[in-house]
């Protein structure tokens, strides 16, 4: 077995080279999957998924990850790029749940006998758009078709909009079985909140954080965004101070990507109020400096965690994984995703459900899995996925480990890519240490650029894909 002579110690400080970041900044994938979702094809059919499930069954029982997408929100936040439906008509949720339960039943029957779930995540939209009674019924239905691991083993998380819940609702969510909670905050500054149509009083959010602690949630995560209209270094610094004082277990800080031609709600944002590229870079530097100074570990991309959090521990132990929910501790789990637009990862396939409610409902009404597109990975896809996963999660790559897993000579197979990495080596972003390709502290912020070197699809696609900037 290959032994690393280099340790991508997550506690090490980040080397923030602003000039280099400006020079290398470009559009690129976030690699929540490889191949990325824009490579999925309508040629992928439900029977391809059934074949993948049969292959998984042959491999024997292993834990599953289950994702449930609830697309509804009370109001629209102007920055949002999620697949959501803003409506106050609660009857739409009741209709949706009827179809969602049928999809869960179909998936449950497919995985009968190998249906042990150790990770469950409710995302959206706003999952707490559902009432307590609706959530009770939905969870009971899930437990009817899947076996959920005990609370001390399973990770059961839900995304919460603090504006939509009370401390009592948080208590109820814990009673219902959730043990991890993620809170959307974005920014505590009232002026910024007004500019993005998300008025969220600070004390209201802090009360929900405290309620989650009182209820016994094992992990509390906060989401922030930098680059929003009316943000500046002072307002960001004040928000960071409040977040650090709240002491969540994890913090995600996302770069706002202004793509109004893709996401209609963003057309309501006053572009003249957006901070410039240099100001955004200064905000990112401030976030990294303040959070690492407060003891948070930089996991990668836009994620930070306390040293004792399971995410940081998984990275230290080489168990960290990246999927459609971001970083995960369950590297070996097939992911079953239910709901409109949800993406599954089963065996050597990815598949995405229909993106509109009408199409989703129609497919389920016909007794079909509501998959619109997907992909079956080739051997080349699998090799490159392993390479990109290693770089994205652990900032290092063992060439011999790839050779042990796949029938290739790494240096021959990736001769062109190794040549392209030489420029990154010259810039001080990577270094070659015997068998290992190691991302330096300076390179960690540009990990997407480095991973893109191994993305075969980027060099074979003539038209530019619509991605956010890499940093």
**What is d(CA 225, CA 398) in angstroms, rounded to the nearest whole number?**
34
Do 318 and 409 lie in one domain? The reply is no
Do 162 and 201 lie in one domain? The reply is yes
**What is d(CA 215, CA 166) in angstroms, rounded to the nearest whole number?**
12
Is 126 labeled as ligand-binding?
Answer: yes
Do 325 and 388 lie in one domain? The reply is no
Is 77 labeled as ligand-binding?
Answer: yes
Is 290 labeled as ligand-binding?
Answer: no
Is 186 labeled as ligand-binding?
Answer: yes
Do 261 and 120 lie in one domain? The reply is yes
Query: Residue 412 is part of a domain; what is its CATH number?
Result: 1.10.10.920
Do 419 and 306 lie in one domain? The reply is no
As a whole number of Å, the end-to-end CA separation of the chain is 35
Q: What is the pLDDT of residues 203-215, one digit of tens each?
A: 999 999 999 999 9
Is 128 labeled as ligand-binding?
Answer: no
Is 314 labeled as ligand-binding?
Answer: no
Residue 360 lies in a domain: no
Do 275 and 240 lie in one domain? The reply is yes
Q: Select from 338, 359, 392 the last residue of a domain.
A: 338
Is 333 labeled as ligand-binding?
Answer: no
Residue 280 lies in a domain: yes
Residue 354 lies in a domain: no
Torsion (CA) 370, 371, 372, 373 in degrees, nearest 10: 180
How many structural domains are present in the chain? 2
Do 60 and 96 lie in one domain? The reply is yes
pLDDT bin (cut points 50, 70, 90) of residue 3 is: very low
Is 124 labeled as ligand-binding?
Answer: yes
Residue 63 lies in a domain: yes
Q: What is the pLDDT of residues 114-144, one digit of tens each?
A: 999 999 999 998 999 999 999 999 999 999 9
Do 24 and 41 lie in one domain? The reply is no
Q: What is the pLDDT of residues 14-64, one digit of tens each?
A: 889 889 989 998 888 999 899 999 999 999 999 999 999 999 999 877 899
Is 73 labeled as ligand-binding?
Answer: yes
Q: What is the pLDDT of residues 391-441, one digit of tens each?
A: 999 999 999 999 999 999 999 999 999 999 999 999 999 999 999 999 999
Of all residues in the chain, the percent with pLDDT exceeding 70 is 96
Residue 7 lies in a domain: no
Do 221 and 242 lie in one domain? The reply is yes
Do 333 and 453 lie in one domain? The reply is no
Query: Residue 197 is part of a domain; what is its CATH number?
Result: 3.80.30.20
Is 79 labeled as ligand-binding?
Answer: yes
Residue 77 lies in a domain: yes
Do 67 and 23 lie in one domain? The reply is no
Do 81 and 148 lie in one domain? The reply is yes
Q: Select from 338, 370, 405 the last residue of a domain.
A: 338
Q: Select from 313, 338, 363 the last residue of a domain.
A: 338
Is 343 labeled as ligand-binding?
Answer: yes
Domain boundaries, position 449: 18-28+378-459
Residue 372 lies in a domain: no
Residue 356 lies in a domain: no
């Amino acid at each position: 077995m290959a032994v690393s002579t280099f340790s991508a110690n997550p506690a090490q400080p980040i080397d923030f080279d602003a000039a280099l970041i400006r020079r290398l900044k470009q559009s690129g994938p976030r690699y929540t999957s490889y191949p990325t979702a824009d490579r999925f094809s309508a040629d992928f059919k439900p029977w391809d998924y059934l074949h993948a499930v049969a292959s998984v069954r042959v491999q024997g029982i292993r834990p599953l990850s289950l994702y449930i997408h609830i697309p509804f929100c009370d109001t629209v936040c102007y920055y949002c790029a999620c697949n959501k439906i803003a409506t106050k008509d609660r009857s739409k949720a009741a209709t949706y749940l009827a179809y969602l339960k049928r999809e869960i039943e179909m998936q449950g029957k497919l995985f009968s006998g190998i249906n042990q779930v150790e990770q469950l995540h409710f995302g959206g939209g706003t999952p707490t758009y559902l009432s307590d009674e609706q959530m009770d019924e939905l969870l009971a239905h899930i437990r009817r078709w899947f076996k959920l691991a005990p609370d001390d083993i399973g990770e059961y998380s839900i995304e919460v909009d603090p504006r939509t819940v009370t401390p009592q609702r948080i208590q109820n969510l814990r009673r219902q079985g959730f043990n991890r909670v993620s809170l959307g905050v974005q920014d505590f500054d009232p002026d910024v909140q007004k500019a993005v149509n998300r008025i969220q009083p600070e004390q209201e959010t802090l009360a929900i954080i405290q309620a989650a602690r009182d209820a016994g949630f094992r992990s509390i995560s906060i989401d922030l965004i930098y680059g929003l209209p009316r943000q500046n270094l002072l307002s960001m610094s004040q928000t960071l101070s409040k977040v650090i004082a709240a002491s969540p277990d994890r913090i995600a800080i996302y770069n706002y990507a202004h793509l109004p031609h893709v996401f209609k709600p963003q057309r309501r944002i006053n572009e003249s109020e957006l901070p410039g590229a240099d100001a955004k870079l200064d905000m990112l530097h401030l976030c990294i400096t303040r959070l690492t100074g407060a003891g948070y570990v930089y996991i990668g991309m836009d994620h930070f965690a306390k040293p004792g959090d399971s995410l940081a521990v998984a990275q230290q132990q080489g168990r960290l994984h990246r999927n459609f929910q971001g970083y995960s501790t369950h590297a070996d789990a097939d992911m079953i995703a239910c709901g409109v637009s949800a993406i599954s990862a089963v065996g050597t396939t990815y598949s995405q459900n229909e993106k509109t409610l009408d199409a989703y409902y129609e497919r389920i009404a016909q007794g079909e899995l509501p998959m619109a597109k997907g992909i079956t990975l080739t051997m080349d896809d699998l090799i490159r996925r392993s390479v990109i996963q290693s770089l994205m999660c652990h900032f290092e790559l063992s060439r011999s480990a790839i050779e042990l897993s796949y029938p290739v000579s790494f240096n021959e197979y990736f001769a062109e890519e190794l040549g392209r990495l030489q420029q990154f080596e010259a810039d001080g972003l990577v270094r070659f240490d015997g068998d290992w390709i190691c991302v330096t502290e300076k390179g960690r912020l540009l990990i997407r650029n480095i991973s893109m070197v191994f993305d075969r699809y980027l060099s074979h696609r003539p038209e530019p894909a619509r991605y956010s900037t890499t940093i």
